[in-house]
Amino acid sequence: MNRPVLILGAGIAGLWTALKLAPRPVILVTGSPLGTGAATGWAQGGIAAALGEGDSPALHASDTLAAGDGLSDPHAARLLASGIASEVKALRALGVPFDIDDEGRITQGLEAAHSRARIAHVTGDRAGAAILAALIETVRTADHVTLLEGWRAVALVPSRIGGCAGAHLRGPAGETRIIAARDTVLAMGGAGGLWQVSTSPSGALGQAMAMAARIGAEIADPEFVQSHPTAIDIGLDPAPLATEALRGEGAKLIDGQGRRLMESISDALDLAPRDIVARAVHAARQSGRGAFLDAREAVGDHFPNRFPTVFAACMAAGLDPRITPIPIAPAAHYHMGGVATDTEGRTTLPGLWAVGECAANGLHGANRLASNSLAEGLVFGARTANALQSTSGKPQVALNVDLPPALPALALTRLRQAMSAECGVERTGAGLERLLGILDALTARYGDTDPVLAARFIVNAAANRQESRGAHWRLDHPARSETPRHTRLALEDIEADVLATQARPA
Ligand SMILES: Cc1cc2nc3c(=O)[nH]c(=O)nc-3n(C[C@H](O)[C@H](O)[C@H](O)COP(=O)(O)OP(=O)(O)OC[C@H]3O[C@@H](n4cnc5c(N)ncnc54)[C@H](O)[C@@H]3O)c2cc1C
């Protein structure tokens, strides 16, 4: 019997996996109404794909590896770079209106750390919204997909053989139900919402990591969290983004005196890798010089047409980017680490799969190459769906489990402040120890909640990585270790560390 696959999350990764599974039945769960709560809809830059003359999948893969700073898996990078062209073609067939030239070829822009202009856009900065709309329209009419909208996953169901047997869901009226499944796919997005300054949806709290770890799955490289250097600093939470494509078009990073920020820092200037630019922006703000993105000359009057999303965000805050530089701040943006998987979405547990931003399949290493994550959702969503076609059999026999408590809003605010203060663009051993103390206090007061558990994985791994690599910058260990190593953590490692922290004299 062809049993349904349970997919938790309906961003690009969950939706694409669901569509590619046809005709196998799918139960697709999304905590918020379809189209909301997903980072996918907010993606501005677009999709990285080597489509043009003078570019190649080999070049795309090599840029991906360089950005990953020694920790990207060459096999995963090759799969992404060679697989993305056909997925873009499939999106065009669904009606995604990529920006094209007079001959119907997709036009492509430049972004940081790409050696070629290879980002496919939609109406300048609306790629995510357009792709999400097309996928939703297709999923709504797909016979093989049953949608559970407004149902949040609150825990995975552990099985008697040490795998996953489905998920506990909480409905719109607070009611709970269990969906038993032979195969459950986590596609719940990232963890940026754990930081006070973030571009991610507020529900992106690393919950997939916490849920998976609670039933025994391994977590990979959780300390690697990319900050976007140019979140628009207008006091909004989440912070709106000024896409990197603006710098691709020539916009400049300047301080409050109009001096170029990157001149003494990198030969690549404003298109240096994101971690380098984020640290430069952070330093300029810390020193009181201020940091701004000046697009007056490079974009100017073309703003409303070329970058309608950024333009609207600025104008809503009373700031006209055609005549005023945009105030910017680094913000938590993308989680490279997550639930450990192979390149077909298999986690370390039978019956549990993960795809998209919540998964760590080795592609991004210590730093994601810009615009590789929509591409990841497509290529690895398709690969996961393909691998799932050959699974069959009943759900495993379930074990009972206590549902974790929720973290109250005020406590989440405290957590987010502490994560931004101690585990952001710059980290130190002493700061991370202080942060672990705050996590202990939150656990003692509110119980073992998912956001605090997710934060524990990130902070524990950051404290134990005594080097600077990719997006992980330790002020007290600025050098890069000569031997690259991955982090692998399970729940028992975190629990052992909590016990060790508690045993330490205050
Ligand atoms: C502002 C911004 C701009 C970006 N620009 C780009 C770009 O130009 N190019 C690029 O490649 N990447 C970009 N990214 C990154 C990219 O958008 C994301 O990494 C990618 O969309 C993640 O897709 P996903 O399907 O894994 O997760 P998401 O799109 O975040 O979807 C997660 C889904 O899970 C659901 N969910 C979460 N928790 C639960 C739960 N407990 N129960 C049920 N459902 C749940 C959510 O409601 C949502 O449907 C950007 C990110 C941001 C924030």
Tell me the per-residue pLDDT of 441-452, one tens digit each, with 9 for 90 and over.
Answer: 999 999 999 999
Beta strands in 358-492 (DSSP E): 359-360, 488-489
User: Which residues is 8 bridged to in the sheet?
Assistant: 29, 186
Nearest residue (CA) to ligand 1, atom 49: 10
Rounded Cα gap, residues 389 and 383, in angstroms: 10
Half-sphere exposure at residue 277, Cβ-oriented, CA atoms within 13 angstroms: 31
Distance, CA 446 to ligand 1 centroid (Å)? 28
Per-residue model confidence (pLDDT) at position 273: 83
**Is the separation of the CB atoms in 456 and 439 below 8 Å?**
yes
Rounded Cα gap, residues 220 and 493, in angstroms: 13
Per-residue model confidence (pLDDT) at position 88: 98
The one-letter code for the residue type at 358 is C
Tokens encoding 451: 């956001």
Per-residue model confidence (pLDDT) at position 506: 47
Helix-strand-coil split of the chain, %, nearest 5:
35, 20, 45
Rounded Cα gap, residues 391 and 407, in angstroms: 36
Per-residue model confidence (pLDDT) at position 245: 87
Peptide bond into 74 cis (omega under 30): no
Domain at 225-332, CATH class: alpha beta
CA-to-CA separations, 155 to 148, 178, 215, 242, in angstroms, rounded: 16, 9, 9, 35
**Cβ of residue 378 lying under 6 Å from some atom of ligand 1:** no
Task: Tell which atom from ligand 1 comes closest to the C-alpha of 34.
Answer: 49
54: left (phi over 0), alpha (psi -120 to 50) or beta: left
What letter would DSSP give residue 174?
S
Q: Report residue 229 CA to chain centroid gap.
A: 15
Rounded Cα gap, residues 132 and 39, in angstroms: 10
**Cβ of residue 11 lying under 6 Å from some atom of ligand 1:** yes
Half-sphere exposure at residue 90, Cβ-oriented, CA atoms within 13 angstroms: 14
Per-residue model confidence (pLDDT) at position 372: 97
Per-residue model confidence (pLDDT) at position 505: 53
Catalytic: 274? Answer: yes
Per-residue model confidence (pLDDT) at position 503: 65
User: Of 116, 274, 465, 469, which residue is the catalytic one?
Assistant: 274
CA-to-CA separations, 118 to 65, 390, 460, in angstroms, rounded: 16, 34, 36
Nearest residue (CA) to ligand 1, atom 13: 43
Tokens encoding 288: 């009181």
DSSP characters over 9-59: --SHHHHHHHHHTTTS-EEEEESSSTTSS-GGGG--S-EE---STT--HHH
Per-residue model confidence (pLDDT) at position 45: 86
Q: Which among 184, 228, 364, 374 is the best mutation to test ligand 1's pocket, defined by most ligand atoms within 8 Å of the CB? A: 374
Task: Tell which atom from ligand 1 comes closest to the C-alpha of 373.
Answer: 11
Task: Tell which atom from ligand 1 comes closest to the C-alpha of 241.
Answer: 1
Tokens encoding 395: 């759900």
Q: Where are the domains of the chain?
A: 225-332
Per-residue model confidence (pLDDT) at position 392: 82
Distance, CA 289 to ligand 1 centroid (Å)? 33
Per-residue model confidence (pLDDT) at position 172: 92
Rounded Cα gap, residues 132 and 36, in angstroms: 10
Backbone phi, psi, residue 182, to 5°: -70, -35
The one-letter code for the residue type at 213 is A
Regions of the chain with pLDDT less than 50: 506
Per-residue model confidence (pLDDT) at position 20: 98
189 closest CA partner among 153, 137, 218: 153
Q: Which among 357, 369, 450 is the best mutation to test ligand 1's pocket, defined by most ligand atoms within 8 Å of the CB? A: 357
What letter would DSSP give residue 505?
-
Rounded Cα gap, residues 356 and 13, in angstroms: 5
Q: Which among 30, 87, 198, 199 is the best mutation to test ligand 1's pocket, defined by most ligand atoms within 8 Å of the CB? A: 30
User: Which residues is 253 bridged to in the sheet?
Assistant: 293
**Cβ of residue 207 lying under 6 Å from some atom of ligand 1:** yes
